[in-house]
Each structure stands twice: as C-alpha cells, then as structure tokens.
Chains A and B, each alone.
Chain A
C-alpha cells in the first residue's frame, strides 16, 4: 500500500479529479495549502505595491492506494495537472504501513478501497 501526496495548481483540481475518476480512483482528500516553489506565480498588487516571492496557493491531494493502483494514480494526476510550466507541482509516493476502516474495523488491503 502506498500513500500518494500531490501538490498541484488550484485551477487544475477539476481536471485532476476528472482523470482520477477515469482511472477508477474515487477516494481522495483535498486541502488548500500554501507553498514555496521555484515559481513566482501570479503576482498580486495591493495598492500599487508589488508582492512577489510570497507563499503561493496550492492544492494538496492525499490518496491511499493498493500497489496495483499506484501507477494509474500517478498517471492520472500528471495527466490532469501538467501544463509544462514551472509551478505544475509534485507527486510524492510514500510507503503506507496500515489502514483501518473505522466503520467495520477492517485492516490493510481490504480497508483501503
């Protein structure tokens, strides 16, 4: 089992969700986060004062999957979020030790999907 964490551009969330559903990945958690990449992003101006290099708004997805779903999930995220520009984001894949479905107390592979 793996935990996949992805950081993507906010305006790509709909597209990524669409791709994930196509890949039959239907369980995900979404967060709005701030992050610092190499990208300067959309510059904001408050009363004429330019602010660059501040933390940029991103969307963070968390998806726990069984091993055979890892590659399709990564592919779907990349498919949905890639523009080729700086700031498209990252996908992290982490080892996942266990998983418990609270309702049934099932563990591991059966609990995840």
Chain B
C-alpha cells in the first residue's frame, strides 16, 4: 500500500510563481493533516514579528485526509494564518463543499504568499493554476461573487471568497464559501490584504486514498452507526437553533454586553420560534444532518430577509448582545454578515460594546452618524453591520474590534471590551460555565467557544468526569477538551459529528486514507492533539504573547453576573491566576506559560525550544 500524505499547492501572488510539493511522510506521521498541517507549515514559514496584513504573512487553506469521500461529516476545511485581530495563531474552520473540492483537485494545503499588484483570484483546475483578474467581482458581495464564478467556470466550481469586509481589511472579516464562513480571527482581512478575492476550484469528483476498499468498508460502517444515533437525529432536526433554550434556562446567555445571563423574555427567541420561519435546510458535503437551517422573514420591516442561519452563535450575536428579542432582525443581520463577509460573533459582540459606550456617554449621536444605540433597539444594530463592513462613519472605528476601540477611546472603556487576546467572546457566559470561560482564556486563538467546548459544564456530559459548572478548578477538563478538539480537527471532522457514536472508527479511517497505521492507536492520536496545541502555543510565545494574554475580560473578573430567573446569581471569575498556575503545570509549561524543554521533547518538538527561550 502506498502512503498518501497529501499534496501542497503554493502560489506566490507577488511573483506569480506556482509550485507543488508533497507533504513529507514524517510530517504526516506527526501532524496527520488538517489543523496539524496548518500549524506545522505556519510555524515553519511565518516569522516572528510578521505584520498580519503584510505580504510576508501567508494564508493556509487546509483540507483533511477524509474530505471528499463517502464518509460523513468529514469534509470541513480550515484557514490558518497569523491573525490581524489578535497577532496570534489563527485557525478558522468552515463547512460547505470547498474542502471536498480541494481534495478533488488533489491538494490538501493551498499556501498563498505575497501580494498581488491588483485584485485577483486563483483558479485551480486539473489543467493547472491561473491567477486571474478579479475586477468583475471586487466590491461585490459573496453571493454575487460566487454566482459570477459559477457563470464563468461552470457549476462544478466552488469558491472560498471574501466580501467587502475582507477587501476593507475589517479586522474580523471572514472567508466565505457558499453560505458558510471561516468566520473567526480575521482570516478574510488577510485574504483582502493580498488583493485576493477568492480561491476557485473547478474539478471533477475524484478520490485519493491509500486503501480505497478498506476505507469504503469503514465508511459504510460509519454511515450505519450515524443514521440510528439520537444525537445525529436531534441535530438533523434542529441544527444549533435551539441551544439558546438551554443557555437562557441556565443563565449563561450573555445579555447587554455580558451583564446578564438571560434575556427577560427568552421564550421569544427559542428554537420553536425560529422553526416557524424555517423554509429549508442545507448541509455540508456528504453530511445527511443538513444542519444549516434556512429562514425567511415573512413580514414586517425585515420582510424578505433570507439566510442559511442564524445558527446559535449568530442568534445570540444579534439578540443577546443588544438585549433584543426580535428574531427577524437577527435573520437580517446574519444574512448581511454572510453577504458582506463578516464574523457574526465579533460583529455582534462589538455592536453590543458600542451600545454600552453610548449608554455610558463615551460616544454620542454625533459619533454614531445619528444612530441611537439604545439597548433593545435592533434597527441601529442592522445598520451598523453594513457600516462596519464598508468602514462607513463609526463603522470604520468598530471594524477594528473591541480591544483597539477601547485603546483608542480610553476613558475606562476597556471594562466594556469583552475579548481575550483581542478576539471577542462568543455566546456562553464564562461566569456560569467556568471551564468554558477558561477555555476562552487559554485557547491559542483567543476567545473561541469551539476550541475546547466544555460540554461538561453546559450540558452535563460526564466524561472524563462530571463538573460543577461554577468550579474554577477544572484545568484537566479544559486541557482534555482542547487536546481532543485538536485531534479531531486533523480530520477535519465536524465538531458535532464526533458525538454521533462513530468515533472508534476515526483513527481507522485516517489510517486507510493515508496508509499510516499508527493513527489507529487512540493514545497516539491524543498525543498528536497535544502536539498541535503546544506548537500553537510556541507560535504565540514567539510572537510575544504569554501569560499576560491568558486572562478573561475585566468585567468577567470584577463584576458579578446577574442571571435573572436562573441559577448562578452573583457569580464571578475570581481565580484566574490560580487556574493558570494549575493549567500550566498540568500542560508541562513554566509559570509564564512557556512549554518546557522536557514537554517539547516528549512531543517530538525539540526544534522549537531554541525559538522560545
């Protein structure tokens, strides 16, 4: 059996040079693929001190070894780069079909270097790679852009593109494919900084597996397991459109820029209310869950708003952050974000922050182009989404994200800026789910909910052990979740699909896809996850980040949470330092959060030690 370690496509937009490489077998063994390949090549190729929006930064589009196959929910893909929002490691995961199309073109990594002299797009076909003029689509939204590519190159074409937000270098611009986004970390701004509108692939379906027969036998088993799994069936019915039913009920739905943990009348935003406006569903490549629930607003001022979504995070971003219970406005804002190429989480969080600045008198109507940013009023929120993407008026300031806005305004506004490492917090209140909160604090990318999702705190998952969600001492749980996520993102498997009963097949599928048997060993794969996380940490240390950047926002540490009718009233995060001491110790890091030489040696990362001394 021949190993299949994956091919790399490298495009330098400054020189126009295009080349291909094969991933060396030792890299495939140690890093498996997906996020593993992303961090390995980013670490090796992006130097400390690189300006994220300069031509020295690189953009890595990474598919996984299972993508494009008959196995289900394994065709997601990832964007890695140095983040313009945080200055740290960036990893942003996306769905739709693009990951499968990368594999059809027989590339697992697309590395984009340099900067084009004028707006361009990259077109990849079986006949070669071209860098083409993007003047027809520069300035267009993502829907129009992708339709144009299909009109030019045929329906067997998929694109990863930016909207106006990426072109305008909004610090939290997304990369968009179909209606899914690599939303977080500002990867769209990096693409925009390279004058790159899109990467476009036209390719017939093709499989590239080391042992196709063995792989397909395993995939058939996976399909049979999934179709009878209750968690899958529940996800198929609801997607994530009912998570707010739970988070409101337990008081961890952030409201009014993280002052409350519950909407006053949260029954108005529950999943059953969104269900009334659902008009269809859309799925990623080879996934029967079709969890993207499509909504259309039938009447009122947002009549006609139509979006694949909002999913849970976006529901929160456009209700909880400004204390609105208008779900029509949330659908309209979600559609705008996908069209314009914005991360919904950072957008909604930043808008909630702006509302509080307005409430506190730190900005006024003359600053907001006449908009009255009064909590509960949703019309200004929808207007701000567009202003941010186009950098119009106050949108130009808000496009920088909460950390930079607070630094510019000063006047004590930093307490209202709810971010970690510069990335805005998502839709789980840390004071009511503390392992989730400490995942935000220590995740390599800043405040990401899905970097080590604490299902123990939020849903009562009992493995590796149950938690008290108000306990700040569960460093082992945070590490377990973060390492497990990293292992799964080598796949790149969907975060939900890991809970559909087929996880014992994961390593076997990887082994059959690559022809590398060691992946079948769960302990080996767990170590791979830990290796990834440590290399990401080393990347961040080398960029100047460290312990000082592992703290939750000031509000979370100094103000009590108000939960209204839910349990947890008065909770605060009070032991950030003690948590970090314990977390670093368990990770084998120094008191300053630097991986020790012994730990690096254990993880076969000895070569990193000299870089982070």
A complexed with B:
no
Task: Please report A residues at the B interface, Cβ cutoff 8 Å.
Answer: none
